[in-house]
Amino acid sequence: MRLSRSFLPTLKENPAEAQIVSHRLMLRAGLIRQTASGIYAWLPAGLRVLRNISQIVREEQDRINAQEVLMPTLQSADLWRRSGRYDAYGPEMLRIQDRHKRELLYGPTNEEMITDLFGQSVKSYKDMPQTLYHIQWKFRDEVRPRFGVMRGREFLMKDAYSFDVDYTSAVASYRRMMLAYLRTFQRLGVQAVPMRADTGPIGGDLSHEFLILAPTGESGVFYDAALEEQDWLDTPVDTESNDALEAFFNRVTAPYAATDEMHDTQAWEAVPEDRRREGRGVEVGHIFYFGTKYTQAMGVTVSGPDGAPLHPEMGSYGIGVSRLAGAIIEASHDENGIIWPDSVAPFRAAILNLKMGDAQCDALCEELYAAAPEYFLYDDRPERAGVKFADADLMGHPWQIVVGPRGAKEGIVELKRRATGERSEVSVQDALTRVLQSDDGERAPTNGQK
Q: Which residues bind its own copies (CB under 8 A)?
A: 1, 5-7, 9, 30, 33, 35-37, 39-44, 46-48, 50-52, 55, 65, 67-76, 79, 91-92, 94, 96, 98-99, 102, 104, 106, 113, 116-117, 120-122, 130, 132, 137, 139, 141, 143, 153-154, 343, 348, 374-375, 443, 445-450
Q: Amino acid letter at 358?
A: D
Closest contact distance (angstroms) between CB of 41 and its own copies is 5
Closer CB to its own copies, 158 or 280, in the complex:
158
Closer CB to its own copies, 172 or 213, in the complex:
172
Closest contact distance (angstroms) between CB of 48 and its own copies is 6
Closer CB to its own copies, 83 or 207, in the complex:
83
The residues, any chain, with a CB within 8 Å of residue 301's CB and separated by 6 or more, are 119, 295, 309, 310, 311, 312
Closest contact distance (angstroms) between CB of 67 and its own copies is 5
Closer CB to its own copies, 122 or 412, in the complex:
122
Closer CB to its own copies, 174 or 340, in the complex:
340
Q: Where are the alpha helices (DSSP H) in 148-283?
A: 167-187, 242-253, 265-269
Report in angstroms the alpha-carbon separations of 81 from 71, 99, 201, 311.
18, 21, 21, 19
Are 261 and 199 in contact by the 8 Å Cβ rule? The answer is no
Closest contact distance (angstroms) between CB of 121 and its own copies is 4
Closest contact distance (angstroms) between CB of 285 and its own copies is 22
Are 327 and 212 in contact by the 8 Å Cβ rule? The answer is yes
Nearest to 131 by CA among 112, 119, 118, 116: 118
Q: Can you spell out the DSSP letters for 291-312?
A: ETHHHHHTT--EE-TTSSEEPP
Closer CB to its own copies, 193 or 395, in the complex:
395
Closest contact distance (angstroms) between CB of 122 and its own copies is 8
Spatial separation of the C-alpha atoms in residues 117 and 79, rounded to whole Å: 11
Spatial separation of the C-alpha atoms in residues 255 and 377, rounded to whole Å: 43
Closest contact distance (angstroms) between CB of 206 and its own copies is 23
Spatial separation of the C-alpha atoms in residues 12 and 255, rounded to whole Å: 45
Q: Can you spell out the DSSP letters for 206-245?
A: -EEEEEEE-TT-SEEEEEEGGGGS--GGG----TT-HHHH
Closer CB to its own copies, 34 or 207, in the complex:
34
